[in-house]
Structure 1
Amino acid sequence: MTGLCDSVATVRTDRLVAILLMLQRREQTTAAEVARELEVSERTARRDLDALAMAGVPVYSTQGRGGGWRLVGGARTDLSGLTASEARALFLVAGQASAATPAVKAALRKLVQALPEPFRVQAEAAASSLVTDPQRWGSSPVEPRPPRFLDELQDAVIRGVQVGLGYLDREGAVTERTVHPLGIVAKGPSWYLVANTDAGRRTFRIDRVTSTTPTEDPVTRPADFDLATSWREIADEVDRKRTPLEIQAVCTPPGISILRIAFGNRLEVGGPTTDGRIEVVIRGHNEYILAGELAGLVEWTEVTSPPAVRDRLASIGNALVKLYN
């Protein structure tokens, strides 16, 4: 699965599903035909076909004149030629909860209905088992590196079984607990397990996992659980804890786009004021850092509270005048 996660980062999910549907409709297709139909280069088409094969989807190529790509066993609209592991591989590579477009999700739902009954549950679980959030906490995007127990935990998510988890906490103590795995998230360079526990829903850094012992006990999974939605809530809560200070300000309309670039999800845009400006709330680590970030935005933004940030901005302004007068 590690190699599969790497391939997901470089291949568009909508093309993979479209290629599979082409192979189902036709006895054989070529990279040139795929490129023409999907409006991509032949090199991209070959890479996508190779990615499907490497992921375990039952496709193969024949060389020479009249060669091309085929599904093992020929085109099968009912997908009955897939094994359980092949079905899981397909939905892992094509169905990431964070990457699939609405059209892809609709296609995947149709493909699920075409699968043999025993494969459906795990294929659906594979499609929703992983979310990739490329933005590292407070920094730039970084390619995530799979940790030691990633494959075992993702397998437990897909099979829907509880896991005995050894975990190294922040104080350096190893604890043991039984968890109900719900999904895996790659956040920047770190990987997380989202799971239910006796104490409620929790998030575990997978590089702190010291052991995994899958059980045969089924996971208790909330009926309305969605991994992507759950992770957004978790990430928002973490961001709020990391940026506890809130300031109120007003901004000119042209400055709103600049504030969005500067503060991202730390910015909340409100309604207009009587003078035509717009109310905003901005979160930051503390008054010193936040005032420093805002000092270069005074052309568009005026802080209204708290007073400590206004005082700090005035101090920065005085220092700038003294230095550059």
Structure 2
Amino acid sequence: MRASRLLSLLLLLQTRGRMTAAEISQELEVSIRTVYRDVEALSSAGVPVYADRGPAGGYRLLDGYRTRLNGLSAEEASSLFLAGLPGPAAELGLADVAAAAELKLLAALPPEPRSHASRMRERFLLDVPGWYRDADDVPLLGLVADAVWEGREIRMLYRRWGPAEVTRQVRPYGLVLKGGSWYMIAAPQDAGPRTYRVSRIISAEALSARFTRPEGFDLAEFWQDYSEDFRERMYPYEATVRLAPGAEEMLRLTAGTRPVEAALATAGPPGEDGWRVLRLPIESVRHACWLLLRMGASLEVLGPPELRELMVSAIREMAALYAAGSPREPEPLDHGR
């Protein structure tokens, strides 16, 4: 346990530079007294750890000191290769760099972790986009990524939902890849950060003006908050339905895992016939009708009344269509002759 902690301390100082005892204590979740003992142990082992005194002081390694000890277990090394996504790397213009880094990492690993990592790469593949859905076409992703990295403002022509096109000058804080789609987190002038889909950027130019990222802005935290808020806004309504026994998985595939799990979590016990009454989050009445028709006789809509009426109307139209007899012969195509 202590050897692992000493290695973590060494790598912390190597990657972050100067750190106070309090910062190390918080990072490693140990007492400050333990930090003092661990620093002394590293120094006794020949690691050049120095203490800078004063208010801005802390522990640091001798300038230029780097350890070749990576401390990666076989599982940790494998996880790095599993996390490598060649598609997104290529979209960012980093395909060659990522491939070179992978080769260097493999060469630096001891035999056992190297073998484990190679098997992981041969046996597992991450494919981000969903079925029947290609990744977004993002010709301007490289420009956006450079602006994010260099802290330059962007002026862009952006296509909003619908036919509207708007011009925006923004400060790009970061990029997020979600389900095969790239999103730019950026702040317009005199406004807080917002989310823009990169594939909807029609044209863009990086400006000479630079900006300073807001102190304390955390991209992962922002995206988590945005995702939760988006899910709440995505399902603002609710439908009451009766679900046949054993149809839960079919409903998950039809309406999505999250809303169905939320409905099942608050549902009461099944009735004597095995059917359960659920309060299912939905986007809109019309969208719910389109989705829930797929469930056939495995689900009955109880409310709201307008959704039940839409379901009844759609089912009657379908019944009339199929009651007409044999299918109609397709109309011959008119080739203009």
Q: TM-score, normalised by structure 1?
A: 0.51
| Partners of 2:319 and 2:155 in 1: CA distance | 58
What corresponds to 1:154 in structure 2?
145
Indicate yes or no: 2:202 matched with 1:208.
Answer: yes
What corresponds to 2:231 in structure 1?
236
What corresponds to 1:309 in structure 2?
307
What corresponds to 2:12 in structure 1?
none
User: Which residues in structure 2 correspond to 1:125-140 (within 5 Å)?
Assistant: 134-135=129-130, 140=132
User: Which residues in structure 2 correspond to 1:63-74 (within 5 Å)?
Assistant: none
User: Which residues in structure 2 correspond to 1:91-110 (within 5 Å)?
Assistant: none
Indicate yes or no: 2:129 matched with 1:37.
Answer: no
Find the partner of 1:24 among 84, 108, 130. Answer: 108
Find the partner of 1:175 among 167, 170, 179. Answer: 167
1:295 CA displacement: 2.8
Does structure 2 conserve the Cα–Cα contact (< 8 Å) formed by 1:162 and 1:218?
A: no
Equivalent residue letter for 2:117: L
Larger deviation: 302-311 or 224-233? 224-233
What corresponds to 1:87 in structure 2?
none
1:142 CA displacement: 0.9
Runs of 5+ consecutive residues of structure 2 not aligned to the other structure = 1-85, 324-337
Equivalent residue letter for 2:267: P
Equivalent residue letter for 1:203: T
SS at match of 1:147: coil
Equivalent residue letter for 1:283: I
CA-to-partner distance for each residue in 1:112-154, whole Å, 9 max, x for gaps? Answer: xxxxxxxxxxxxxxxxxxxx9735xxx9421233322x22321
Q: TM-score, normalised by structure 2?
A: 0.50
Change in 2 beyond 3 A, CA 1:280/1:154: same
Does structure 1 conserve the Cα–Cα contact (< 8 Å) formed by 2:185 and 2:194?
A: yes
1:3 CA displacement: 7.6
What corresponds to 2:153 in structure 1?
163
Aligned-pair identity (%): 21
| Partners of 1:162 and 1:7 in 2: CA distance | 20
What corresponds to 1:5 in structure 2?
89
User: Which residues in structure 2 correspond to 1:279-294 (within 5 Å)?
Assistant: 279-287=278-286, 289-294=287-292
1:219 CA displacement: 1.4
Change in 2 beyond 3 A, CA 1:323/1:177: closer
Change in 2 beyond 3 A, CA 1:250/1:18: farther
Equivalent residue letter for 2:116: E
| Partners of 2:88 and 2:300 in 1: CA distance | 49
1:285 CA displacement: 4.6
| Partners of 1:7 and 1:157 in 2: CA distance | 15
1:221 CA displacement: 4.9
What corresponds to 1:125 in structure 2?
none
SS at match of 1:208: strand
Does structure 2 conserve the Cα–Cα contact (< 8 Å) formed by 1:165 and 1:210?
A: yes
CA-to-partner distance for each residue in 1:194-218, whole Å, 9 max, x for gaps? Answer: 1133222212343234222153432
1:306 CA displacement: 0.8
Does structure 2 conserve the Cα–Cα contact (< 8 Å) formed by 1:250 and 1:302?
A: yes
Find the partner of 2:266 among 261, 266, 271. Answer: 271
SS at match of 2:187: strand
Q: Which structure has more strand as a fraction of its residues?
A: 1
| Partners of 2:297 and 2:167 in 1: CA distance | 53
Does structure 2 conserve the Cα–Cα contact (< 8 Å) formed by 1:162 and 1:219?
A: no
What corresponds to 1:185 in structure 2?
176
Does structure 1 conserve the Cα–Cα contact (< 8 Å) formed by 2:243 and 2:299?
A: yes
Equivalent residue letter for 2:89: C
Cα RMSD of the aligned pairs, angstroms, is 4.3
Equivalent residue letter for 2:107: L
What corresponds to 1:92 in structure 2?
none
CA-to-partner distance for each residue in 1:187-240, whole Å, 9 max, x for gaps? Answer: 5675431113322221234323422215343211544441652553465367x1
1:262 CA displacement: 0.9
Change in 2 beyond 3 A, CA 1:7/1:20: farther
| Partners of 1:214 and 1:151 in 2: CA distance | 17
What corresponds to 1:120 in structure 2?
none
Indicate yes or no: 2:250 matched with 1:258.
Answer: yes
Change in 2 beyond 3 A, CA 1:279/1:315: same
Change in 2 beyond 3 A, CA 1:183/1:189: same
